[in-house]
Structure 1
Amino acid sequence: MSTRIQYWLSTASPWTWLGSARFIALARSAGAEVDLLPVDLGAVFAATGGTPFPQRSAARRSYRQLELGRWSKRLGVPLQLEPRYYPVDRGPSSRLLIAARNGGVDALGLSHAVLRAIWQEDRDIGDWATLERIADDCGLDGVALARVAQRPETERQYLENTRCAVEAQVFGSPTFVVAGERFWGQDRLDFLAERLLQGCRCSSDSTSGSIRSPQ
């Protein structure tokens, strides 16, 4: 049985962008199933005591930028510290990912492309036409996905994701949850890798035990 990872994310989070490629590679190498769960981070902050970036003190904003630059350099992941379209409405891009996931296409790969669009390419992920082109570039049908993303039921699912995130004690992006255990931040991916390895060992032991059992 493969391990399941809940991947709670904001499509406008720079920290999620910095960890995106590594997380995708880790999940795929572990053979894990990923539940892609975009959330309204502003609503999550409001419910859990967080503060949106524009509302933080000057000291906190400047240090956040300093850390983003450090991590970008350390990881070799290009990142625009002051993208043209930020802050941005996360709703359209989040609903696009939900539509992709529900449609059984590569929503995880699309999430990486959306994050790259804002943090590397200076594109407006709050604009439906831009999102359609991003999806097209991923080999998907952007127009069809955008049409589904704009349906009321997709919006309701986005709101439900956000409610469930708060219920699961998620308070930032990215957050990875395996069997109820939370890992917050791109700098916790090493811990997530260890947890996935434990899951692989347990599965291997269980399989080995069934082979050795009397017939």
Structure 2
Amino acid sequence: MSSEQARLRWYFDFISPFAYLHWQKLRPMLGEREVELVPVAFGAILAAHGQKGPAEIPGKREFTYRHVLWQARRDGVELRFPPAHPFNPLAALRLCVAAGNTPEAVEAIFDWIWRRGQAGDSVQALSSLIAGLKVEIGAIGSDSTKSALRANTESAVAAGVFGVPTLSVGGELFWGNDAHDFALDALQHPERIEDSEMQRLKQLPVGVQRRA
């Protein structure tokens, strides 16, 4: 696999508990491989595809929360939901961008919201974390930070990202915490996603469409 084929990008939003769970699996890889960490606005991605998030659908919302907690307990990951969900993640995303999208910043923000169960929906709620990351408050709301997050989101949509977390392996997209093993297998054995049946599925005809 060439260096471009092996290039890894991770698209995520702090609003997603599944992204928090996936981060626990991805983080140990950072010492072995270069992974570009790309914070994106999940709400804008949903809007671009005309979709609702799971937390916007009654019944599915409650099931998703319990499923997340079950997965965390199964995997031995400490998880505590923030005071309200869904919440506005823009302050947390912009803090990540202002901090340089470093693994340390990503870890600190996920830890704050999803391990400690703290609010992450405003600069005020994140004030102690901002100080700890040594980020100037003005940088979080700056035009350059906002533009960078917008560019991240637009590039994700252009790449075909439709949900978070998504790990891109040489341009192939693997969506969700539960797709991690699939992504690793594709990274180690690219021929398995390049065989004829896998390729045929990309062009599989639609048999019926639901009426609006």
> TM-score range with shorter-chain normalisation?
0.7 to 0.9
Equivalent positions of 1:29-44 (< 5 A) are 31-44=32-45
TM-score by length of 2: 0.78
Q: 2:158 aligns with which of 160, 167, 187?
A: 167
Q: For the residues of structure 2 that align with 1:135 and 1:21, how far apart are their CA atoms? A: 22
TM-score by length of 1: 0.77
Query: Counterpart in 1 of 2:27?
Result: 24
Q: For the residues of structure 2 that align with 1:75 and 1:128, how far apart are their CA atoms? A: 31
- After superposition, the CA RMSD in angstroms is 2.2
Q: Using a 3 Å threshold, how does the CA distance of structure 1 residues 181 and 64 change in structure 2: closer, same or farther?
A: same
Equivalent positions of 1:163-202 (< 5 A) are 163-198=154-189
Asked if 1:15 corresponds to 2:18, the answer is: yes
Identity in percent: 27
Query: Counterpart in 2 of 1:93?
Result: 92
Question: Deviations along 1:120-177, whole A, 9 cap, x unmatched?
Answer: 212121232443422544xx313x2x33222111101111111111111111111010
> What is the aligned length?
187
User: CA offset at residue 112 of structure 1?
Assistant: 2.0
Note the residue ranges of structure 2 that are not aligned, 5 or more in a row: 191-212
Q: Using a 3 Å threshold, how does the CA distance of structure 1 residues 88 and 32 change in structure 2: closer, same or farther?
A: same
Q: For the residues of structure 2 that align with 1:166 and 1:141, how far apart are their CA atoms? A: 31
Query: Counterpart in 2 of 1:150?
Result: 141
Asked if 1:45 corresponds to 2:36, the answer is: no
Q: 1:123 aligns with which of 112, 118, 134?
A: 118
Query: Counterpart in 1 of 2:75?
Result: 75
CA contact (8 A) 1:9 1:173 kept: yes
Q: For the residues of structure 2 that align with 1:54 and 1:4, how far apart are their CA atoms? A: 31
Note the residue ranges of structure 1 that are not aligned, 5 or more in a row: 200-215
